[in-house]
Structure 1
């Protein structure tokens, strides 16, 4: 068997089918023989290649259009970025803000230039803050004085506050005398009122003690109770016995009269307490009956 000189089929293996033409062509290709394609396959291949070429051309045109759009978008995006970077220089509102800032800075610089001598003198002082102006030759003594007065700073502050408070009163002394004159009168009135209240409180306390003593002394002087009254209860204040037609009103009247005479013999200082006790005893006894004849 001889081998052909054409090596176009080297490395190409057609689809093999066992016992078929494809299997035979595959074996021939493996052995190195050249196998020509059929006319139908050539026609089909050319038709497919033409359709693919048209599709490829169409895709290339679309791709070119898309690339152009992308390039335009990139240019526009770059321009917008540049506008954003320089907007603070070109926009009207931003320019007005810059002008106001520059005007304020210019005013400050003018003030600094006009007051440069005072600023330099102030910076040459040992303290740049607000302080008491002291000559350079007396600064040492003044510092020592401040160190000694540091312990009395509280009293000094209070004195300064009092001084400032006293400066608010600008009226003459005569006006203040007229304004202060009613104060002693009011104090004297308050004192008298307090003394009167104290005396009244003592009087009430004494009266209460006297009432307590009179009530204790009047308990033994009550008339003796009968056996019938003792059987009713142990209380000193009991209701009078039931009404009886044969009772003597003269005896009851004599008892009440004697009790009134004993109570009237008390001193004048105990008159009020005596009247209260009489009224209490009268509540526990029958009213006096005037005898006729």
Structure 2
């Protein structure tokens, strides 16, 4: 249900950016910056300052993000056995929740665009943005204009939940779940882009067993050039400080020699897809855990025999 007017490419492309700055070599202003150590595009001094300022603010190359198309293509990194797999047409409906706090506007817009473009229209019930009390002005003005333009074509598709004070990740995710009306809810960070056919593997598994709590496989978006790097599937575990980490699957998963098969994980990395009503039945997340790193482990312990990674569902995650 993409629309060329809504999702047109940026006026300033990477090619034109290079051409603009190659005309006059500029002094390297930030040779020790982690951004410019990795990202070697020639920029004017003004653009270097802008890029470094945005990098310090967001932790990734927001300057480059603002130049990229909102509807950019992603490399298909799925296993070949996933690519040809077919799913039923009649799957549960999906509410997608995007959580953010002072995220770069273009990153949120690209997340929305990827979800609309790569989720079957008859399955996508709504996209719910949960703003945990951002202060960025463009998230109060330009984002609302962008949402309105989408809703003019697709009435009620994108909804907003805004906190009057910062409540933390757990409460933001709970707010998104409360606002959802679809059969299944996907609770995601806003700095993601979904891959093609990301939703169907998740919805099909939950249709077969509504007590599953699922996670997709995350590819990596490089913080410096925003290219997508393939990551192989791994389990979500945790250490004794209760920090989530990637760990290996049980050996039997590797022995079957079919990386398209799902497998269980002992923890939930934070991004999860679950039957909406079942999530309420098990108590959702612990809203009292205000800092990242505890609520997902606590949930993982509660559903330790029912949490799994859905290998054929992939999304790109900004690191």
Tell me if TM exceeds 0.5. no
| TM-score calculated relative to the size of structure 1 | 0.13
Q: Which has the higher contact order (CA 8 A, sep 6+)?
A: 2
Tell which structure's C-alpha radius of gyration is larger: 1
Structure showing the higher strand proportion among its residues: 2
Structure showing the higher helix proportion among its residues: 1
